Chains A and B, each alone.
Chain A
Amino acid sequence: MKEKLLLVIPAYNEEENLVRVVDDLMINYPEYDYVIVNDGSSDRTRELCIGHHYRYIDYPINLGLTSAFRGGMYYGMEHGYDYILQYDGDGQHDPSYIKDLLECAVENRANIIVGSRFVQKRKPFSARMFGSRIITNCIALTTGRRIKDPTSGMRMYDRRAMDLIAKQKDFGPEPDTLAYLIRNGLEVAEVQVEMKERIAGTSYLTLTNSIRYMLHMCFSILVVGFLRKKER
C-alpha cells in the first residue's frame, strides 16, 4: 500500500532559495507531492511560484508560520493525504532523509516523526543549543519523553496528529504542541537527519526574538499545556 505524503513548504520572502529547493524536489524526488504556502511575501516569491508553475497556496497577507503550516495541513487533510511533512523553503532540510522518516512512520506506527539532528550525534554546547536544551528538559519534565531536537522544523504528522492539531486553532508546528500531543496519547519518534546551514536570505530569529520564543515555549509547555482540554 502506497502512503500518500504531502510536503508542506511554508515560504515567506524566500525568493533567493525557493526555486533551488522546489526544483530539487520536482526533479530528484518526484514521488513526493508538495504544496508551497506563500505567507504574504513582499518579494517575488509569489511571482516565482506562478512563473515556474509550482503548486502553491497564496495568502494575501502575512499571518506567520503557524497559519502557513495550518493552511498546508488543511490542504493535506482535504486531499486525503496520510502524512504531511513540514519542509522548509530555505533549503536547510535534506530531501534524501524523507524516506527515512516515512519508513519510521509506517514501521513504528508513530504519529509524529521528528527529523532530529541529535539522535546519534551529540548536541553541541553552544549558545544556540542552550535554548534547545531547555526545551528538551521542559518536555521531558512534563511528558517523560526525551525529544533531543524539539525545535527541528522537519516534522511528519499522521492523520491522527492532524486531526488533533486542527481542533486547537492556535496550535502551530512548535515544541509546545508536541508536548501537548504526547500527553494526549500520541507517539513521537525521532530519526537522525542532516541539515544544512541557510545559504541565502535572512532568518527571522534574532537574540531578543529567541529569548521571547524560549520564555513563551517554556510557559506554554510547563503551564498552559496542562490547562487545556484533554482529548478523550
Chain B
Amino acid sequence: MRQRKVYIELMIVVLGFLSVWMLLSQIDFRAYWSIGQKGQQLEEKIGDLIWKDLSNSYDVIEDSMAIRPLSHILKRLCDSNGLSPENFQLAILDNKEMNALALPGDRLVIFSGMILECQQAEEVAGIMAHEMAHILEGHVMEKIIREIGLSVLIGMTTGGGPESIGQMSKLVLGLAFDRTVEEEADDIGIELMQKAGIDPEPIANLFFRLGSENEASVPVWLSTHPGPLERSVDLARQLREDTTKYIPLMSHEEWQKLKEPFLSNN
C-alpha cells in the first residue's frame, strides 16, 4: 500500500516537472529576449571591425572584370545548395600571399596570390566552398571566442583600441582550426561543389600540390590547415566513388585570361 503511494507520488512529481517544463517551452523566450539577434549583431560587428582593419592593411580589388567570374562561381554554389548569395560577401584582397579566410558576419575573403596559384577555376571554387562551409557551420566565431574570450570580444566592440582589433585581425588571418573542423569543412565543401555540378577533384589536387612543397614555401592558407597531404588523400578516397561526369567551369585558356587582372595588380 505504501509502496503504491510512493510510485503514485513519484509519478505526480515527475509529471509535474515535465508539465511545467513543456508549458514553459511553448513561450518563445528567444524572440522575447532577442537572443539570436544579439549574437548575430555581435558577430556582424566583429566581422566589420576585422574587415575594416584588413581593408586598411591590404588593397581591395574592386575591378568588376576580376570579381565577376568569382561571383558567378559563388552564385552557382549558393543557388544549387538553396543558399542566398547575398548572405556571403565576397572580397578579394590584393596580396601575393596564398590565403583565403572566412570572417564573422559571413564575409569570404580570398587573396589574389591564392587565385594566381590555382591552376583551374574548380580549385578556386573548392576554396570558396571550403570557406563557405566554415561560415555555414559557424566555425570562425566559435574559434575566435575560444581564443580570445567572449568578454574581451564584447569589450572590443564597445570601445576596443585599434591595437586590439589589429591583434584580432592577425588572429583571424592565421586562425588554425583543428583537424575535426577542417575535415568537416572539407566534407561540406565537397557536397556544396557536387550539388553545384562542379568537379571537386581539383581541390584534392590543390591540397596535394601545395602540401608537397617544402615547409618554407607552404602557403599561409595551408599552414593553418593541418595535414594537407593526408586530407588530399582522404578527399581523393572520398571522391573515388563519385562517378559523375562534371562539365568544366571554364577552359584552361579562359582561366588563364581570368587571372590576368590579378597578375597586373601583383
A and B form one complex: no
Q: Give chain A's interface residues, CB within 8 Å of chain B.
A: none
